[in-house]
Amino acid sequence: MNRNLFANFVVSLSFLFVSSELYAQVQTSEVNVTEPPEEYQIGGKIYPQFWKAELKNQKAFVPLAKVISFGIQDYEVIGGGHVHELTIAMEAGVLMRIYALEAPTIVNRAKNPAAKGQSAVESVSGNISPVTNLQTNAVVKHYPATTHLNMMEFRVKSRKEVGSLYKELEQAYIDFQVREVTKRQREEAVRESKAE
């Protein structure tokens, strides 16, 4: 009986060996290398790598991986008006400012009587010729005193535009930073604090 079992095992083994040789012969085929490769489409969300803003006749382009921090601030320029500014700090000491100039406040005008009746642009720019920059988004500078190394400046018409740009940048930056965590974890990625 053991002999029969051994004989059956040898026959099965030889059949398996012959089958694998036949299978290997059947699988060989020629491929035309001039045909384009097969294309596959993978679904999923691609997260932004850059933030781009078109500001009338100006353009800002920011690689999100280089952003260190950003924020909005308001400040008064003595005798020159109110500034609402989005400041973006990047690696290598690069700074980007996007701001809106507003007319001087009553307090600010009281500090500088010469500023009464002047627009913020005229006051900040040192009484430039009447109305030259009031209708544009031109950045106002005392050249070269207000020109700084590694700084890009953009001017928009209103604080609302500055706020919108901040919200868009914030969402793009959060999406970029938390791209590798689950959707549920993303909600926990930002901690908020408020002060009055």
Q: Cα–Cα distances in Å, from 123 out to 80, 110, 155?
A: 5, 14, 16
Does residue 188 contact residue 170 with C-beta atoms inside 8 Å? no
pLDDT, tens only, 80-90: 788 899 999 99
Q: DSSP 3-state assignment of 98?
A: strand
pLDDT, tens only, 10-42: 556 565 555 555 455 555 566 666 777 777 777
pLDDT, tens only, 117-165: 444 444 444 443 333 344 456 666 665 566 677 889 999 999 999 999 9
**E strand or H helix that includes residue 6:** helix 2-27
Q: Which residue has the tokens 């009587």?
A: 113
Q: What percentage of residues in the chain have a pLDDT greater than 90?
A: 28
Residues 6+ apart with CB under 8 A from 89: 67, 68, 69, 70, 95
> pTM of the entire structure?
0.61
CA atoms within 13 A on the CB side of 135: 4
Q: DSSP 3-state assignment of 137?
A: coil
